[in-house]
Copies of this chain bind each other. A is one copy, B any other.
Amino acid sequence: MVGQKPADALMVGSSCATHKTDLHLSADQAERVADLFKTLGHPVRAQIVMMLSRGGGDVCVCDIERHFDVSQPTISHHLKKLRDAGVVYGVQHGLWVHYSLVPGVLETLRQFLNGLD
């Protein structure tokens, strides 16, 4: 939880003219949303997610590696970040591991974005 004031500190007055600032998003929810955004906030990870989506899942790590000009451990590191955030999962098939998107996990972000503008 980062720098969040208690709820009863919201909506107090000020001398300037704008007060339309209630959040409608708890600090916990903000934390989860931000964590997902951060996870997608690297070009390699954004593209991995897109590959898994486009490929319909079950994409081999060896095929992921081919698309990028970074080392194998770096790809493995990005996959771990995606796994830890609950965005993807991997299944072992013999020597290979096939990755897929966790279904519905990006719904949180869609809802956040659709609530905006």
A residues apposed to B, CB below 8 Å: 1-5, 9-10, 12, 14-25, 27, 30-31, 33-35, 37-47, 49-51, 53-56, 58-60, 62-64, 66-70, 74, 93, 96, 98, 101, 103-104, 106, 109-110, 112-117
Q: Which residues of B contact A33 (CB under 8 A)?
A: 40, 43, 46
Q: How often does this chain occur in the complex, in copies? A: 2
The answer on a CB contact under 8 Å between A62 and B16 is: yes
CA distance A27 to B63 in the complex (A): 17
The answer on a CB contact under 8 Å between A104 and B116 is: no
Q: Can you name 20 A-B residue pairings with CB atoms under 8 Å?
A: A2-B44, A2-B70, A4-B69, A5-B66, A10-B67, A16-B93, A18-B98, A20-B54, A23-B54, A30-B43, A34-B41, A34-B46, A37-B40, A40-B41, A49-B116, A50-B116, A53-B116, A103-B117, A109-B109, A110-B114
CA distance A93 to B16 in the complex (A): 9
CA distance A28 to B17 in the complex (A): 41
- Least distance between A102 CB and chain B CB atoms (Å): 10
CA distance A26 to B2 in the complex (A): 34
- Of B15, B45, B50, B113, the residue contacting A23 (CB under 8 A) is B50
